[in-house]
Amino acid sequence: MTTNYNLTPREKEVLQHLALGLADSQIAENLTIERTTVKTHLNRIFPKLRVNSRGEATFNAILMGLIDCPCSLSPNKNTSRGSN
């Protein structure tokens, strides 16, 4: 049985965007929140998942079924990387 690790819906949203490889500023823009709020969410997510890095959080969240694999998602206009 999969547990949600007491993640809030917003923390799951931040994790899902993190899995797309987005920077804090991009996550903040996509979710219409401040970059410091993204950092706060990450600082709360890491201990809940018992991880120490963004990569570990993404990997474990996918393995635990907490978020969808980014390969199954289609990015929106704000998630493109390196295009100008």
pLDDT on residue 2: 56
Quote the pLDDT of residue 84: 41
Query: SS3 for 9?
Result: helix
Task: Give pLDDT < 50 ranges for the chain.
Answer: 1, 77, 79-80, 82-84
pTM tops 0.85, yes or no: no
The CATH label, of 1.10.3720.10, 1.10.10.10, 2.60.40.10, 1.25.40.10, for the domain at 9-70 is 1.10.10.10
Give the Cα separation of 63 and 69 in Å (integer).
9
pLDDT of amino acid 66: 92
pLDDT, residue 62, reads 92
**pLDDT the model gives residue 3:** 72
